[in-house]
Amino acid sequence: MAGIALSGVSKHFGAVEVIRDVSLDIQPGELVVFLGPSGSGKTTLLRMIAGLESIDEGTLTIDGVRSENLAPGRRNVAMVFQNYALYPHMTVAENMAFGLRNIRVAPDVIGQRIAEAARILEIEALLQRRPSQLSGGQRQRVAIGRAIVKEPKAFLFDEPLSNLDAALRARTRVELAELHQRLKSTMIYVTHDQVEAMTLADRIVILNNCRIEQMGSPVDVYARPASRFVATFVGSPA
């Protein structure tokens, strides 16, 4: 399990400022939600932690190791994307195994991990199907399964439920909370949905205009908003 620390992190895309002076300590096992409107920098922050975006200024450490000494492939964090990002020509089992071959996990261990993740996510019956033969909800389970089998130090979720219908979104949200209880792993979860943030988070980090507007427990930010923006954003329905 990873502790993740950002200190004075900033980022520009060309002349456009995207992240300004973000400092944040995420404890091992904590479920932190990045909540904010579209364009506030949530995904960019997540991608920097994953190593998919560079950092212009400041420092990022994962388990005490500075990011410049950690190539993306060595961070052992698992990202789950909104659009699932499954390989269409591979079966579910092959999709789940794919990332493990690169990190040299033995074939029998790969089999055990896939079986265990499939059991947790109740997708055992789908292992030989291809993504085109799955519903959206089933695809997202496979994407989560592909993350679980990596046994990552941290899970990074980028709006994982936003392509699901409301009922499935609510159910999957509960299942993700149960998954966090079960695995006790560090999770960072990006969303613009206040209900998701309130129900999932140990701590909510509210982003607005490239910077942290407030962070605290769901009760804290709801009951004691630090600004008019937080009061309006947290208090109003998605």
- Cβ atoms 101, 128 nearer than 8 A: no
36, 51, 131, 218: which one binds ligand ADP (CB under 6 A): 36
Does 205 participate in binding ligand ADP (rule CB under 6 A)? no
Q: Which is nearer to ligand ADP, 54 or 135 (CB)?
A: 54
Least Cβ distance, residue 81 to ligand ADP (angstroms): 12
Using CB under 6 A, which of the segments 39-47, 70-78, 149-157, 181-189 binds ligand ADP? 39-47
Q: Which is nearer to ligand ADP, 37 or 107 (CB)?
A: 37
Q: Which is nearer to ligand ADP, 52 or 125 (CB)?
A: 52
Residues 3-22, one symbol each (x = binds ligand ADP by CB under 6 A, - = not), give ----------x--x-x----
Least Cβ distance, residue 162 to ligand ADP (angstroms): 11
Q: Which is nearer to ligand ADP, 3 or 39 (CB)?
A: 39
Q: Which is nearer to ligand ADP, 128 or 209 (CB)?
A: 209
Does 131 participate in binding ligand ADP (rule CB under 6 A)? no
CA distance 180 to 155: 10
Does 214 participate in binding ligand ADP (rule CB under 6 A)? no
Does 208 participate in binding ligand ADP (rule CB under 6 A)? no
Residues 61-90, one symbol each (x = binds ligand ADP by CB under 6 A, - = not), give ------------------------------
Task: Classify residue 96 by burial, with Cβ atoms within 10 Å: 0-12, 13-18, 19+.
Answer: buried
Does 215 participate in binding ligand ADP (rule CB under 6 A)? no
Q: Which is nearer to ligand ADP, 27 or 163 (CB)?
A: 163
CA distance 204 to 46: 14
The contact set with ligand ADP (CB under 6 A) reads: 13, 16, 18, 36, 38-44
